[in-house]
Amino acid sequence: MADTPAVEPTRQPTIDGAAADRALAAARRRYADRRPNSARQAEAAARVLPAGSTRSVLDFAPFPFRVASADGAVLADVDGHRYIDFLGDYTAGLLGHNPPEVADAVRAALERGWALGAVADDEHRLAELLCDRFPSIEQIRFTNSGTEANLMAISLARHVTGRDRVLVFDGAYHGGLLYFGAGGTALQAPYSYVPCRYNDSRSVADAVAEHGDDIACVLIEPMMGAGGCLPADPAFLADLRARCSRHDIVLIFDEVMTSRMSTGGAQLRLGITPDLTTLGKYLGGGMTFGAFGGPAATMAAFDPARGGSLTHGGTFNNNVMTMSAGAAAVERILTAEALDRLFERGERFRPRVDDVLRPVGMSASGWGSLLAIHPVPGPITGPHDLAGFDGRPVELVFHAMLERGIYLARRGFVALSLAITDDHLQTFVERLEEAVDELVEHGVVTPALSSGAPA
């Protein structure tokens, strides 16, 4: 069994709460003062959209970041400011903005017509490309989002096993209806869940011992994305794979984010094959996209010719724009060489970020081209290591970086795109050094009292 290794507990750096509040209030004022057009448009949008948007992750005080245009790795807001985009639309923007290969494919497809109400060649082509890449996928179905893909995969697992319960991990996010962190319960899809601790094989073993005969599937990200870019220990995943096999539990890898780790995602890089895989984000070329797939025998549940009884509707599952954009992206841009190069670039970049943060008791975690900034020193093995800690230093870093022309998530999430260059990475590190110096200058953190925790 792969038990979680003993590590020194994560500690909160010394934070002056009053200083943090003053600095954050000042940062929000500067944000608003520099963006009068954004402020006016946010006020108008809030009359018809709750919080002024339709995507909660984009909501923050005093109002959301509003973009006018994007190209390559650069964003321009409605007030004329330009930024290097280190958010990459929460991984969906892996290709960079406006890649010509995708734009040309979409224009050509639209000239042939859309909203067809029928199948078309690009649907078959994209399915072939993805089945060729992922070890676990022999057949695939398309959806409109990663959320839909995960819901379909769970439902398929419950159907083929005849069991009801779903083993999940505290703090995990698998879409708007499958969020297991704070505030997610009210909107959870009405399955029966068995919650466990991420990276904790003992927790899983106990859950399977108690509920194994009722557990249809395990749903897991090989690296928690929204949970803080927290990679699963390969030994933990290997133990999970073996345990699922012994108990006839369907292992679902949510690779909506981690599919970028190689042409065959995390499963190919790790050599651990799940029973079902869910996909989303950039594999649709930046268009609305999701997919789920697995062995042909399992996917036969959707094939009446093979005795399948399940139906899977969705007007836009095979929409012309996504199918053409996805086929172009996967075939022409997302080569093994390009993805491996981006993975290695991220592996070199993350330690540089962590080196800047460590003296003030903060850290960076992640894998490949995805990372997150945390208000605590490492090591961080799961969301349980982040519970209850003060997030204000990370929000202050976000504002400081935005003022210096760097866009990342307010929660400290960073997703490198193929358009990001080595010069961009150097600029990020330099601006982060300035942001951290600002935290110290404002008295938010005290390096002499915050350092010394393990990296």
Q: How many residues make up the chain in this entry?
A: 455
Statement: residue 120 has pLDDT above 80: yes
Distance of CA 309 to the CA centre of its chain: 33
Q: All domains of the chain, ordered by start, with CATH?
A: 119-332 (3.40.640.10)
Structure tokens belonging to residue 231:
């990679």
Q: At which residue do the structure tokens 């592996």 appear?
A: 347
Rounded distance between C-alpha atoms, residue 90 and residue 225, angstroms? 9
414 touches 346 (CB < 8 A): no
> Can you tell me the mean pLDDT for 55-71?
95
| Other Cβ atoms within 10 Å of 354 Cβ, number | 20
Rounded distance between C-alpha atoms, residue 150 and residue 153, angstroms? 5
* Residue 2, pLDDT score: 45
* Residue 11, pLDDT score: 61
Statement: residue 4 has pLDDT above 70: no
Q: Record the pTM.
A: 0.94
Residue type, 139: Q
| Percent of the chain clearing pLDDT 70 (strictly above) | 95
Q: Of 374, 415, 134, nearest to 252 (Cα)?
A: 134
432 touches 412 (CB < 8 A): no
pLDDT digits 0-9 by tens, 45-61: 999 999 999 999 999 99
Compute the mean pLDDT over every residue in the chain, rounded to the nearest whole number.
Answer: 94
> Can you tell me the mean pLDDT for 245-261?
98
Instruction: State the catalytic residues.
Output: 173, 254, 281
In sequence order, what are the residues at sequence separation of 6 or more whose Cβ sits closer than 8 angstroms to the Cβ of residue 128?
none
